[in-house]
Amino acid sequence: EVQLLESGGGLVQPGGSLRLSCAASGFTFSNYAMAWVRQAPGKGLEWVSAICGSGRCTYYADSVKGRFTISRDNSKNSMYVQMNSLRVEDTAIYYCAKGGGDLPSFFDYWGQGTPVIVSS
């Protein structure tokens, strides 16, 4: 059974940093792209970042480029996102999602989400 478990969310001041983690199980982690997708309160889904199975390719939304860094450790079946220079508009539930293949595509499994609140 595929399981994705996010952690690391919380309350942070504008300009602060946070590191989210996603622990995966139930599939061959290195064979699949992974991604972060967020949802601001009462809003729709917004793709944030993705990383291919090998970890050699990474992709970012313009809204987070230069501030967020996605990474993965295939030996630990884990994915991360380091979020720096956080803004109020980064407030959202952050979901970890498994891709349908080695490269970013659709997302066939999702974690339960971890909340990030950026506020002074």
Partner 1 sequence: AIRMTQSPSSFSASTGDRVTITCRASQRISSYLAWYQQKPGRAPKLLIYAASTLQSGVPSRFSGSGSGTDFTLTISYLQSEDFATYYCQQYYSYPPLTFGGGTKVEIK
| Contact between 26 and partner 1 per CB under 8 A | no
Distance CA 31, CA 91 (A): 31
Task: Look at the alpha carbons of 84, 87, 89, 92 in this order and tell me if their dihedral is positive or negative.
Answer: positive
Q: Please pick, from the candidates 1, 41, 66, 106, the single residue that binds partner 1 as defined by CB under 8 A.
A: 106
Distance CA 29, CA 26 (A): 8
Beta pairing class for 3-7 and 18-25: antiparallel
Which of these ranges, 7-15, 16-24, 74-82, 100-108, lies near partner 1 under the rule CB under 8 A? Answer: 100-108
| Contact between 27 and partner 1 per CB under 8 A | no
Q: Of 45 and 82, which has the nearer Cβ to partner 1?
A: 45
| Contact between 94 and partner 1 per CB under 8 A | no
| Contact between 53 and partner 1 per CB under 8 A | no
Which of these ranges, 7-15, 24-32, 44-52, 68-76, lies near partner 1 under the rule CB under 8 A? Answer: 44-52
